[in-house]
Amino acid sequence: MINLLAFPMYAVNRADNEVLTSCVRALLDKHGVPTGDFLSGWPQDNLLSHWRHPHLLLSQTCGFPLMTQLPQVQTVGCFHYTAPGCDGIHYRSVLVARATDSHQTLADFRGKRVACNARESQSGYNVLLKMVASLDHPAPFFKRVVISGSHRQSLREIKRGAADIAAIDCITWALLKRHEPELIDGLTVMGESPLAPGLPLITAQSTSSETLSRIRAALNELVSAAHYRQICDDMFIGGFSDVTRQPYSVLLDWRDEAARKGVTQM
């Protein structure tokens, strides 16, 4: 069963994520977007199937798959996050290593092991292609790439000694510091990436322009009404902007620039 209304990307604390989903559902109903027939909550199938559903109402994806795997969706906009490292609609990745390596830079990790949540990830993989390419070292830069499946698991791989470094979405990092401090105990941020456009909110191509406008109105109320301030604060949400696909083209530029320097994988 596929959920057609979900926020799957920053569900570090499941209870907060469910409250956010419930609030958005209520606001959509208020703004004339009935959700009675739309499943909401945690997607039961894989995320790509969820994002590609022809009747998707509202979800959040990553900017890199938006540009490489989701030509059939419309962008709704982007939240402004307030976690350290964010600026308006933009966010960055933090480079995380064991605390004993806090004095090192990315260049010092040549020949070491890197953990990445997925090869399709902007924050965990594509951004590292850009950063490694800027060092002008022969590829491959890392001795081993561990595909972990999630940012949380990438941190576990570092802690257990199976990897030495990872690029972690700064919002995920802030949520983990708040809700799972034991996970990041012994780890440290030893660098950060350039800013990139944040994770886009999307809807199906079949969503009408009128419905799209109503969804945006509901999200604007979410971030501006005092009634929803606490849940937004709990999720580090500070605002919302309508955003098209165009700003995300920079992510393909990063990939292509790295490829021109011979860095197509790590």
199-248: pLDDT as tens digits: 999 999 999 999 999 999 999 999 999 999 999 999 999 999 999 999 99
168-192: pLDDT as tens digits: 999 999 999 999 999 999 999 999 9
- pLDDT value at residue 139: 79
- pLDDT value at residue 117: 97
Measure the CA angle with vertex 80, ends 43 and 193; round to 5°: 90
109-119: pLDDT as tens digits: 999 999 999 99
- pLDDT value at residue 2: 72
pLDDT class of 102 with cuts at 50, 70, 90 = confident
Fold observed for domain 90-196+253-260: D-Maltodextrin-Binding Protein; domain 2 (3.40.190)
Residue 138: Cβ-neighbour burial (10 angstroms; 0-12, 13-18, 19+): exposed
Assess whether pLDDT exceeds 80 at residue 1: no
Q: What is the DSSP secondary structure assignment for residue 100, as one 8-state letter?
A: G
When computed from its CA atoms, the radius of gyration of the chain, rounded to whole angstroms, is: 19
Assess whether pLDDT exceeds 90 at residue 58: yes
Neighbouring residues of 78: CB distance < 8 A, sequence distance ≥ 6:
89, 197, 198, 199, 200, 201, 240, 241, 243
What mean pLDDT value characterizes the chain? 95
Instruction: Tell me the mean pLDDT in the region 35-40.
Output: 79
Domain range list for the chain? 14-79+199-245, 90-196+253-260
pLDDT class of 74 with cuts at 50, 70, 90 = very high
Give the whole-number percent of the chain exceeding pLDDT 90: 89
Residue 41, Ramachandran bin (φ over 0: left; ψ between -120 and 50: alpha; else beta): left
